[in-house]
């Protein structure tokens, strides 16, 4: 499916918002959990996923596991705020990639924890690994500033493997972010939600769909929702028709009372028309940047890759309880 998108011609960037590897925070001890996590990471890399945020449900086998599995991979694991017991950052905060001359900065953020929390599977006689999620907003803000000023990126995407309310707060309060892609709560596909200067995108869940965000990039400034602009254009067309009809009736009306009422209607419609035109013109000239969100459903109608299918069946044999 990703290959199909790549063949359409426009440059494609694949990103994962995190919480990819385990069913729950405590499910990593299940017999097939490691094989699943290894398969998912290697497939994400093979499919060209450029980066993934580290979420709570990615830490089931610890930080060492993640680092070892991605050491030779192109896939980058990101977190601006996940630190070890000595408060040393465990993953890079961000990465920058260039698509058709457009520079995209990607920042990862993990959930905040008030104190260090154990991760991984405890080994006998060894202390359990502790990690802490520092408050994310300030660290993300600093990283976004750095990307904007030093790396001169054109677009900033935050992969937020944090609860929904934390993602909304981040979108609202951190300057310079274009998109916040949130994972943590297993929210279903939804709509692009304006929040502050940014737009919050739900990526879908459980591998059932791909969220596809088509960007038109010209100039600087905030991205406008192309779907909203389409709705406004439709409203404007309807308004133009109503206004023409009202004016025609006004021209032919002989009754003074009806004329007054029609004059009021025309004035009100004209005011609404001017306001809509102004909003549309603002969207078009305020940078010429739009986004359009849709979802590609991944059902049984999407043919499986035979080689991948073989690997999946080793982890999850046909007819097994998980099927």
With binding defined as CB under 8 A, does residue 201 bind other proteins? yes
Looking at beta carbons only, is 250 or 280 nearer to other proteins? 280
- The structure tokens listed for 288 are 């010429």
Q: Which stretch binds other proteins (CB under 8 A): 108-116, 144-152, 196-204, 262-270?
A: 196-204
13 vs 79: CA distance, rounded Å:
19
With binding defined as CB under 8 A, does residue 10 bind other proteins? yes
With binding defined as CB under 8 A, does residue 208 bind other proteins? yes
Alpha-carbon separation of residue 129 from 35, 62, 76, 108 (angstroms): 21, 7, 22, 21
Q: How many residues are there in the chain? A: 323
Residue of the chain from 130, 236, 239, 315 that contacts other proteins (CB under 8 A): 315
Residue of the chain from 128, 149, 216, 264 that contacts other proteins (CB under 8 A): 216
Residue of the chain from 146, 148, 169, 187 that contacts other proteins (CB under 8 A): 187
- The DSSP secondary-structure symbol of 111 reads -
CB within 8 A of 155, min separation 6: which ones?
Answer: 102, 103, 104, 105, 178, 179, 215, 217
52 vs 73: CA distance, rounded Å:
12
Residue of the chain from 213, 226, 246, 269 that contacts other proteins (CB under 8 A): 213
Looking at beta carbons only, is 109 or 269 nearer to other proteins? 109
With binding defined as CB under 8 A, does residue 179 bind other proteins? yes
Pairing assessment for the beta strands 117-119 and 224-225 based on DSSP bridges? unpaired
With binding defined as CB under 8 A, does residue 261 bind other proteins? no
Residues 83-112 within binding reach of other proteins (CB under 8 A): 99-102, 104
Looking at beta carbons only, is 174 or 201 nearer to other proteins? 201
With binding defined as CB under 8 A, does residue 300 bind other proteins? yes
Residue of the chain from 80, 144, 153, 181 that contacts other proteins (CB under 8 A): 181
Looking at beta carbons only, is 120 or 202 nearer to other proteins? 202
To the nearest 10°, report the CA torsion of 26, 15, 130, 83.
-160
312 vs 306: CA distance, rounded Å:
10
- What is the maximal distance between C-alpha atoms in the chain? 98
Q: How far is the CB of 52 from other proteins (least distance, A)?
A: 9
What b-and-e string marks burial along 114-129, b requiring 16 or more CB atoms within 10 Å of the CB?
eeebebbeeeeeeeeb
Strands in 129-133's sheet, in edge-to-edge order, are 82-84, 129-133, 117-119
Beta pairing partners, 133: 82
Residue of the chain from 228, 270, 305, 316 that contacts other proteins (CB under 8 A): 316
106 vs 309: CA distance, rounded Å:
31
- Smallest Cα–Cα separation from 292: which of 231, 205, 225, 222? 225
Residues 118-177 within binding reach of other proteins (CB under 8 A): 157, 159, 161
145 vs 246: CA distance, rounded Å:
52
Residue of the chain from 214, 238, 274, 281 that contacts other proteins (CB under 8 A): 214
With binding defined as CB under 8 A, does residue 25 bind other proteins? no
Using CB under 8 A, count the residues that bind other proteins.
69
* Contact footprint for other proteins (CB under 8 A): 2, 5, 8, 10-24, 27, 33, 36-37, 39-40, 49, 57, 99-102, 104, 157, 159, 161, 179, 181-187, 201-208, 210-218, 288-289, 298-300, 312, 315-316, 322-323
């Amino acid at each position: 499916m990703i290959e199909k998108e790549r063949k359409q011609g426009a440059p494609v960037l694949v990103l994962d918002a995190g919480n990819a590897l385990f069913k729950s925070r405590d499910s990593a001890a299940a017999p097939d959990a490691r094989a699943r996590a290894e398969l998912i990471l290697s497939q994400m890399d093979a499919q060209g996923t450029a980066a993934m945020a580290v979420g709570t449900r990615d830490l089931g086998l610890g930080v060492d596991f993640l680092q070892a599995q991605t050491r030779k991979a192109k896939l980058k694991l990101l977190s601006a705020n996940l630190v070890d017991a000595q408060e040393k950052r465990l993953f890079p905060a961000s990465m920058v990639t260039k698509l058709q001359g457009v520079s995209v900065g990607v920042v990862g953020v993990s959930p905040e924890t008030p104190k260090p929390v154990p991760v991984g599977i405890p080994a006998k006689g060894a202390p359990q690994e502790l990690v802490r999620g520092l408050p994310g907003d300030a660290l993300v803000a600093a990283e976004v500033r750095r990307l904007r000023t030093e790396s001169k990126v054109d677009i900033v995407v935050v992969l937020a493997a944090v609860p929904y309310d934390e993602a909304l707060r981040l979108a609202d309060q951190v300057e310079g972010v274009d998109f916040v892609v949130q994972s943590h709560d297993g929210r279903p596909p939804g709509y692009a939600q304006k929040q502050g200067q940014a737009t919050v995108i739900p990526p879908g869940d459980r591998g059932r769909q791909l969220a596809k965000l088509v960007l038109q990039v010209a100039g600087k400034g905030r991205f406008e929702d192309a779907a909203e602009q389409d709705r406004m254009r439709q409203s404007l067309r309807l308004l133009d028709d109503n206004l023409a009809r009202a004016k025609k009736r006004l021209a032919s009306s002989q009754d003074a009372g009806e004329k007054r009422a029609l004059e009021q209607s025309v004035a009100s419609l004209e005011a609404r028309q001017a306001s809509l035109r102004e909003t549309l013109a603002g969207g078009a000239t305020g940078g010429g940047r739009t986004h359009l969100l849709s979802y590609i459903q991944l059902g049984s109608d999407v043919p499986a890759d035979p080689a991948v299918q073989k690997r999946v069946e080793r982890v999850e044999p046909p007819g097994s309880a998980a099927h």
